[in-house]
Amino acid sequence: MQQQISVITLGVSDLARSRRFYVEGFGWRPVFENAEIIFYQMNGFVLGTWLETALAADTERERLSRPGAFSLAHNAPSREDVQPTMNRLLQFGGHLLKSPVEPPHGGFSGYVCDPDEHAWEIAWNPFWAIDPQGHVTFGT
């Protein structure tokens, strides 16, 4: 099968609160929105924020838990961009999980969670290339 993920969907309990984090915090622009879901066109795939009750029903699961065993990362263009990006996310409904540190393998990163407890790593990773369209390539 093609090595491809088409959508990441995050369950949210309050769509307006989540929208504030992504639109005002990250500064991202929705490509579609209605009363239960917002889609953002990302770098080669789509991010969806969907009412958690609807996501649970669609997956035929009775219960979804938080915080889930996953994280997302956004790579900043420079080390100096990490803290200001985190500050902005905290200003628009995020919560601090971990202040940025320099990990053993290099770079600089910290964690914020969105208003629904979904973890976001904000990282500067000098080893991974990012093209102008935002496509990220693994590197060492």
Closest contact distance (angstroms) between CB of 137 and a copy of itself is 7
Residue 27 contacts a copy of itself per CB under 8 A: yes
Give the tokens for residue 129: 């290339």
Q: State how far the Cα of 126 lies from the Cα of 40, in Å rounded to an integer.
A: 26
Closest C-alpha among 78, 74, 108, 91 to residue 99: 108
Q: State how far the Cα of 116 lies from the Cα of 80, in Å rounded to an integer.
A: 27
Single residue of 19, 100, 108, 118 touching a copy of itself by CB under 8 A: 118
Residue 126 contacts a copy of itself per CB under 8 A: no
Where in 76-115 is the site for a copy of itself (CB under 8 A)?
Answer: 76-77, 85, 97-98, 111
Q: State how far the Cα of 138 lies from the Cα of 129, in Å rounded to an integer.
A: 7
- What amino acid is encoded at 99 in this protein? S
Chain positions contacting a copy of itself, by CB under 8 A:
1-12, 26-29, 31-32, 39-47, 52, 55-56, 58-61, 63-77, 85, 97-98, 111, 116, 118-119, 121, 123, 125, 128, 130, 133-138, 140
